[in-house]
Homo-oligomer: A and B are copies of this chain.
Amino acid sequence: MRLALEEARKAADAGEVPIGAVVVKGEKVIVAAHNSPRTDHDPTAHAEIAAIRAAAKALGQERLEGCDLWVTLEPCAMCAGAISHARIARLYYAASDPKGGAVEHGAKVFDHSQCLHAPEVYSGMGEDEAADMLRGFFRERR
């Protein structure tokens, strides 16, 4: 999660909402990525999507079986869906997101029969730091 938080800081430095994500397989970091929709002109360029796409490309396969995803904020519906399609084994997220999350909030993407693969979900590690970074970012912009 340390690495995901560093990625979130890079997003903030680039004027993007500070969210970072890392894909890990066993002990090995496959990729680290951050939120970049503004920079990339890409509404899908959330940290999780960027990390999943890059990891699948790096491994040369459509699915990330046996890989874990670490991310600094509870995934939205788009990212939860992508995590499911990618067959991520374990999802670790830092801060929960009552306003936009879709794991423990709202759409609860993993909790429906239409979701063909649900990862194990763990949350809370690094929560304070991740949430502080987001609060600081939005405070500055007000």
Contacts and interface: CB of A to CB of B under 8 A. Distances in A.
Interface of A: 37-38, 41-44, 49, 52-53, 56-57, 59-64, 76-82, 84-87, 98-102, 105-109, 112-116
B43 A52 contact: yes
B115 A77 contact: yes
A114 B109 contact: no
B44 A61 contact: no
Contact of A85 (B44, B84, B112, B116): B44
Contacts of A115: 77, 106-107
A116 B101 CA distance: 11
A63 B38 CA distance: 9
A42 B53 contact: yes
A114 B106 CA distance: 6
A114 B85 contact: no
Nearest to A112: B106
Contact of A44 (B41, B53, B80, B114): B53
B107 A102 contact: yes
A109 B106 CA distance: 8
A122 B41 CA distance: 27
Given A76-B85, A105-B112, 19 more contacts: A41-B56, A41-B57, A41-B62, A42-B62, A43-B62, A43-B86, A44-B52, A44-B85, A76-B114, A77-B81, A78-B84, A78-B85, A81-B81, A81-B102, A98-B114, A100-B114, A102-B112, A107-B107, A107-B112
